[in-house]
Structure 1
């Protein structure tokens, strides 16, 4: 005899079209990349399919394995991945989510890439790490014209060519980055790795790197102490003569999340490297790569928020409690509407940054805005992701705490973007550094947010508050997070007031800027148009 009947359980969320996102698509056209909408939609359907969701699930369930030696005792330093990792990489590279925008002369190429990165990242966060680093390496590599000419076409190739071979013999390349060491972390000037110049123009690199993601990459940018100071170098895994470079993989990190991606400690045992930029200019050179990966941190956090909203809303729409669907319960409507507002604010901010990236090369004002807006947005949006994921998980109750729901993996991924490429204090202090060293960035910021003046009184008041905060620089480092948080919220509010739906903009400004909000999600003020907000998110 059956002991129970299964009922009041939600149907599977997949398949689902993750490109059906009005805030994303509107920004795609607004920032000059409407020509990419068809490809963004294609990726959204693919990423939300049952097949691809399984790719991501299994690539995380069976994480990469390091093989330091073969069966005979020979050193091989290879990482073995689940086959679905390679399928994920093939799609990402095939759609140009890596270095392709640098070779694309169409207006809006970086914006198009950002929208695709956002949409495809829903499949799996881990493999987006090497994709991001390959995208980011190009502007730094251009400090060495010879190396750029040799490798840039392959870094932008839409061919995923996995395997250990001499880089120029391959149809496409993936790049990585090695900066941090165990004693220094973000303080890269404390690095002890050395670079000794050779008569043939190369350098011999000796040292231990504490955190190198994607060690199976073909090329790496790394920092080392040369005679002229901390410098940036390019190291291939296979040298031009076909021999293996002396990059030894010591172990893979056992991380909180990002399980599908291999992150390692590596040892340079007299490895061969080529100087990128000038001796002593290592930080200045590699920071161009870091800035591009910081943009992807913002995109990745916005992606996670979008996934979280979808899962929470899907559950609430189909689950009944106390005689009604959860989505019809006033308290739950407040929570999910609040999650939607946060998600849309992150989306419009990251797309504005992508647009500034497209225009920065020929528009000094856009370059100045990008310099400061990237730092403050990286700080705030990435900081919000874990709180957002936790609240969305809670909407599913105990069901959300079970691995099968997908929410635990989303939650474990959520802190990474805030840590990667400079944790909270580093990002906040970098914003202050931009204001001090490039005052034109402050002017560009105020020009940007002031375009929304008159659209919302809470926003207008908040813009004025920023001006007051910046007039007193006496304890500015102590107040760094407070100042940068307010600047990020104002930037988001300005984008929503100018370009977002009125219901979203009003709710954001009243709660985040007007103070009519609690500390937790789900404390939007009475009178918020939750129906319109939820309808906009197709809930």
Structure 2
């Protein structure tokens, strides 16, 4: 309705991107699902995708982030309660994610492609909200670590894989389903988890009391946590439930919630253990190895999340440019803008291909070569994709002009979210050094990566030459100072190999030429003039 006193009409603004099917619109993701044997999950993916792309899901996310969690340490009479209160929108978002099996699909659907299907579901959920995926990922990743302790696994795995979300703050035995968090980082240690000063005192029969402080505890409202503490044998992994076996509230004291740059719908906290009941997981002194079983799986999700954030940012940018007019033409029809958008789309193609290929290796864990590939490739993917993600989101935000920089639009929240995956579960240097360690300690990991690179041998001489130089370097002495360059070069080579085998020639040619041949991948919008931008963009256009 037009206001007769208005000085202008609202015109030439792109419509909100809601009520669309993000799975149908994502050619790269759909191709990966088909290539890696998860086509059986397409009905499930379509259903979640349509929900995540709905107006309702977007409004839930807006409310969950506008009204972030609140900590209540004590009740009105001074009793310690340590409860975190969330907006109802958060509970609906998390409940939807869990009911769609984002936290447990490979454990309940034991069939080929289950990890790929779960990662694709995770990817699609980014169109709704990102914060709730933290407890989803923690819960998913806790199961392999818990399986090192059969009694614990028998009790807790059914709770963590129930497909039901129950936010009640009561003992887990009385709940329809449970979630699991993680508390490893301490003030003095950071990534050096061996520097933990939390102490574990044995009580007998695998039970301990913990005393110490954790600087970051992910998802503090969870029903249980995996954590590290020192015993006489060294760092040891422990399982800390929110309630003791007697039904009493455990001494997990939440000191404060972190006031974070982004990821605001999700709670992160500092906690203290003061005679806190815990159960040992794995062998004494073997805690780092045990907890790395969980970290291995969470890192997969950080790589997928980076790819998904890039895809969402590109989707929003292409959508905006397809509707916004400047200088008598749609933005998308201006050559410089068209080239920039095509470059963003190429980055998404490579990111999705690499992340889903790593997920495929998790599906084939019984194959020793694929298991070795996953150990190295999950760190490679996390490093490379998390480094590119903030750059891409910044470019996509710029496409929107001033509208991209205001909180009323979607790009500001996405921009704040972009750096987090690069920090969570190991910073860039930690990831790059883990790649070197994987290659140094296990020849099978190096062989598996080289074997994957050679699957595209003969398809493009430039990729063959790059892979050959890379193999020579990997076979020689690897210096720590070169770890980042090595990880990035391996990631680029893997992406090129995957795109040559599984994507249209325009996509593969565009990626290889810009990332390997001409070296223009350092910034976006520098594609060579002979790239088929039209076909690349056609795969990125949203279907509203």
Scaled to the shorter chain, the TM-score interval is over 0.9
Partner of 1:295 in structure 2?
300
The residue that corresponds to 2:162 in the other structure is: 157
Match of 2:66 in 1: 61
Q: For residues 192-225 of structure 1, give each alpha carbon's deviation from its aligned partner in whole angstroms, at most 9, with x where no partner exists.
A: 0000111343111000000001100001000000
Between 123-132 and 315-324, report the one with greater CA deviation: 315-324
Distance 2:175 2:13 in 1: 50
Aligned pairs (5 A) from 1:80-119: 80-119=85-124
Matched position secondary structure for 2:480: coil
Corresponding residue number in structure 2 for 1:439: 443
Instruction: Name which of 396, 403, 412 aligns with 2:407.
Output: 403
SS at match of 2:481: coil
- Which consecutive segments of 4 or more residues in structure 1 shift more than 3 A? none
Q: Which residue of 1 aligns with 2:514?
A: 511
Q: Which residue of 1 aligns with 2:393?
A: 389
* CA deviation map 1:403-451 (0-9, x unaligned): 1111010000000001000000000000000001111100000111101
| Distance (Å, rounded) in 1 between the aligned partners of 2:90 and 2:433 | 36
d(CA) in 1 for partners of 2:12 and 2:127? 27
- Secondary structure, in 3 states, of the residue corresponding to 2:204? coil
- Conserved 8 A contact 1:316-1:326: yes
For residues 111 and 519 of structure 1, the distance between their equivalents in structure 2, rounded to whole angstroms, comes to 29
Aligned pair partner of 1:426 in 420, 423, 430: 430
TM-score, length of structure 1 as denominator length: 0.98
RMSD: 1.1
Deviations 1:244-286 (A, max 9, x none): 1110000000111000000000000010111100000000000
Summarize deviations over 1:339-378 as a string: whole Å, max 9, x none.
0000111111111111110111x11011011111111111
Q: What does residue range 246-285 of structure 1 map to in structure 2 within 5 Å? A: 246-285=251-290
The total of aligned residue pairs comes to 537
Q: Which moved more, 1:181-190 or 1:25-34?
A: 25-34
Give the aligned partner of residue 225 of structure 1: 230
Match of 2:526 among 523, 526, 529: 523
Offset from partner CA, 1:14-58 (integer Å, 9 cap, x none): 122111212111211221111100110111111011110011111
Gaps of 5+ in 1: none
1:373 paired to 2:377: yes
Q: Deviations over 1:264-313 (max 9, x none)?
A: 00000010111100000000000010010000001111110111011100
Contact kept? 2:139, 2:179, Cα under 8 Å: yes
Q: Which has the higher contact order (CA 8 A, sep 6+)?
A: 2
SS of the residue 2:6 aligns to: coil
Calculate the TM-score normalised by the size of structure 2. 0.97
Instruction: Note the residue ranges of structure 2 that are not aligned, 5 or more in a row.
Output: none
Report the CA distance between 1:516 and its aligned residue: 4.2
Does the 8 Å CA contact 1:130/1:174 hold for their aligned counterparts? Answer: yes
Instruction: Answer yes or no: is 1:487 the counterpart of 2:490.
Output: yes
SS of 1:168's partner is helix
Q: Confirm or deny: 8 A CA contact 2:319 2:541 kept in the other structure.
A: no
Rounded to whole Å, the distance in 1 between the matches of 2:381 and 2:261 is 24
- Structure 1: how far apart are the matches of 2:230 and 2:96? 38
Alignment of 1:329 onto 2:339? no
- 1:178–1:114 distance in 2 versus 1, CA, 3 Å: same
Q: Hey, what's the Cα distance between the residues in 1 that align with 2:527 and 2:235?
A: 49
